[in-house]
Amino acid sequence: MTYSFFTHFFAIAAAALFACAILWGEHYHPWGKPLDPRLNYVLGTLAMLFPYSLLMVFWALIPPPQPVPTALVGLWVVVGASGLTVHLLYEMDAKRHALERALVAEFAEKAARNEPA
């Protein structure tokens, strides 16, 4: 029995969103201090592999009509969405830090001129 293309498309999208959610959680980790970059790479790789592995288990239960192209598309979508998520998170952090530095510099300049804040 074959299932619709949309079943597999939504499974790929769900795996990609799950990977992005894990990466977002790892980026804003609850332990509060930066981790070793090697540990970040390992956790990031696991964050992509776990949802993709679940997707492969789903495809073992409900096989797609063309398994190899579907698996490759699923892999690229999960990895691409994960990479975009990490890039956007770092961009948001950079913008926030730039805004904080600008506010601190403005406050220091006003303090140097004895102007009220």
Task: Please indicate, yes or no, if residue 59 is contained in any of the structural domains.
Answer: yes
Which tens digit of pLDDT belongs to each residue from 53-104?
999 999 999 999 889 999 999 999 999 999 999 999 999 989 999 999 999 9
The domain containing residue 88 runs over which residues?
Answer: 5-112
What does the pLDDT read at residue 2?
61
Task: Please indicate, yes or no, if residue 101 is contained in any of the structural domains.
Answer: yes
In percent, how much of the chain has pLDDT > 90? Answer: 66
What is the distance between the alpha carbons of residues 17 and 111, in angstroms, rounded to a whole number? Answer: 46
Task: Region of 32 please: left (phi>0), alpha (psi -120 to 50) or beta.
Answer: left
Q: How many domains does the chain have?
A: 1
Name the band, by pLDDT with cuts 50, 70 and 90, for residue 13. very high
What pTM, to 2 d.p., does this model score? 0.84
Task: Please indicate, yes or no, if residue 117 is contained in any of the structural domains.
Answer: no
What is the distance between the alpha carbons of residues 21 and 23, in angstroms, rounded to a whole number? Answer: 5
